[in-house]
């Protein structure tokens, strides 16, 4: 091991400053970052599908335009993140190959179906809400390119969350059937959104090391509890309820508590047996094949430009 490199690396962490692509870093740090950033990038890209399902059926031109912009933002987030992973030496083509081969992780949440228009609201409010809660601390992640990508992503996620909240608010203030549709969507997305924060702390093999490396700043349970505390207030404004009668603020620990989650379901989804896993991957594979001509054309153009330069 490079002793001077390791000392410099540890000094950077000790002063809570940033590791940059050309700095020496332990292989395990590099590997952990590629693991987390790639699963995050894939989540953004696969996450386009459940909402895109409603673009053609959005209830108005305005809603359609907003939803299209949001789904495009997610594509952009995926691209910032693939670029951050490339600075660690793993090309995007390799990450994409792993994804379409079914070998890569992406967030469990995107394996659930979007059954009604209200689901688009629930995704914006709960899923983007959970994403912000998890990602704001990642803006301070020790790896420079990842933290900086996160700053832009969080700004856009805030708009996404407001967009979802506003859809639910309008439905909730609409007819009884619309209000029921909003409540039903919240009921179905609540628990899966809490699972986005990852397994409970005593079952989270990566947390300790990632926290020591200043990648993660809070544990999975800490962020999950913080999120519940935010939602419990916002749901009142919506005039809806959360499907969890065990939420309470524990005065002693100063933390929010919630009902237990079905971690067996989480494991099933991670193992590829969620409601939409195969559909999501199949769609991603098709899109990759359908886009082959664009990649080929871009490569041919780049080669031609290079030849012109040389000549």
> Using an 8 Å Cβ cutoff, are 252 and 180 in contact?
no
Of the candidate spans 31-39, 253-261, 283-291, 300-308, the one that interacts with ligand FAQ by CB under 6 A turns out to be 31-39
Q: Which of 25, 196, 231, 238 binds ligand FAQ (CB under 6 A)?
A: 196
Smallest Cα–Cα separation from 155: which of 171, 131, 187?
Answer: 131
CB atoms within 10 A of CB 162: 14
**Residue 248 carries which DSSP code?**
E
In Å, how far from its chain's centre is CA 221?
A: 17
In whole angstroms, the minimum distance from the beta carbon of 170 to ligand FAQ comes to 20
> Using an 8 Å Cβ cutoff, are 16 and 26 in contact?
no
| Contacting ligand FAQ within 66-105 (CB under 6 A) | 74, 105
Smallest Cα–Cα separation from 244: which of 253, 232, 230?
Answer: 232
In whole angstroms, the minimum distance from the beta carbon of 199 to ligand FAQ comes to 5
Q: Does 192 help bind ligand FAQ (rule: CB under 6 A)?
A: no
Of the candidate spans 90-98, 189-197, 244-252, 282-290, the one that interacts with ligand FAQ by CB under 6 A turns out to be 189-197
Of the candidate spans 176-184, 204-212, 236-244, 282-290, the one that interacts with ligand FAQ by CB under 6 A turns out to be 204-212
Sequence-separated contacts (24+) of 219-222 with Cβ below 8 Å = 221/197, 222/255
Number of residues that bind ligand FAQ (CB under 6 A): 29
Strand partners, 248: 257
CB atoms within 10 A of CB 217: 16
Q: Which of 270, 283, 285, 288 binds ligand FAQ (CB under 6 A)?
A: 270
Nearer to ligand FAQ, 137 or 169 (CB): 137
Q: Does 254 help bind ligand FAQ (rule: CB under 6 A)?
A: no
Q: Does 205 help bind ligand FAQ (rule: CB under 6 A)?
A: yes
Point out the residue whose Cβ comes nearest to ligand FAQ.
47
In whole angstroms, the minimum distance from the beta carbon of 56 to ligand FAQ comes to 18
In whole angstroms, the minimum distance from the beta carbon of 220 to ligand FAQ comes to 5
Q: Which two tokens stand for residue 98?
A: 């792993």
Cα angle 194, 198, 203; round to 5: 125
In whole angstroms, the minimum distance from the beta carbon of 299 to ligand FAQ comes to 28
Mind giving me the DSSP string for 78-140? Answer: HHHHHHHHHTTT--HHHHHHHHHTT-S---GGGGS---SHHHHHHIIIIIHHHHHHHHTGGGG
Q: Does 206 help bind ligand FAQ (rule: CB under 6 A)?
A: yes
Q: Which of 90, 114, 207, 214 binds ligand FAQ (CB under 6 A)?
A: 207
Residues lying near ligand FAQ in the complex (CB under 6 A) are found at 35-36, 39-40, 43-44, 47, 74, 105, 107-108, 123, 127-128, 131, 134, 195-199, 204-207, 210, 216, 220, 270
């Amino acid at each position: 091991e490079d002793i001077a490199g390791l000392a410099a690396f540890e000094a950077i962490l000790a002063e809570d400053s940033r590791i940059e692509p050309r700095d020496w870093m332990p292989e395990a740090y590099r590997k952990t970052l590629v693991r987390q950033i790639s699963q995050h990038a894939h989540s953004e890209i696969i996450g386009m599908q459940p909402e895109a399902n409603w673009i053609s059926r959005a209830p108005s031109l305005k809603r359609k335009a907003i939803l299209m912009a949001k789904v495009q933002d997610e594509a952009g987030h995926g691209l910032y993140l693939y670029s951050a992973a490339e600075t660690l030496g793993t090309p995007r083509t390799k990450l994409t190959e792993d994804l379409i081969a079914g070998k890569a992780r992406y967030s469990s949440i995107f394996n659930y179906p979007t059954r009604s228009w209200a689901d688009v609201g629930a995704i914006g409010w709960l899923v983007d809400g959970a994403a912000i809660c998890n990602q704001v601390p990642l803006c301070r992640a020790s790896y420079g390119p990842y933290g900086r990508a996160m700053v832009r992503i969080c700004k856009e996620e805030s708009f996404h969350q407001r967009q979802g909240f506003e859809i639910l608010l309008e439905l909730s203030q609409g007819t009884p059937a619309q209000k029921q549709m909003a409540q039903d969507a919240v009921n179905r997305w609540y628990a899966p959104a809490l699972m986005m924060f990852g397994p409970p702390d005593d079952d989270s093999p990566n947390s300790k090391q990632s926290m020591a490396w200043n990648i993660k700043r809070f544990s999975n349970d800490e962020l999950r509890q913080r999120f519940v505390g935010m939602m419990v207030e916002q749901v009142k404004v919506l005039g809806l309820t959360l499907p969890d009668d065990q939420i309470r603020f524990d005065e002693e620990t100063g933390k929010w508590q919630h009902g237990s989650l079905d971690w067996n379901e989480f494991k099933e989804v991670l193992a590829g047996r969620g409601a939409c896993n195969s559909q999501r991957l199949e769609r991603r594979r098709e899109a990759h094949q359908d886009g082959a001509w664009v990649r080929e054309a871009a490569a041919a153009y780049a080669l031609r430009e290079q030849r012109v330069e040389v000549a």
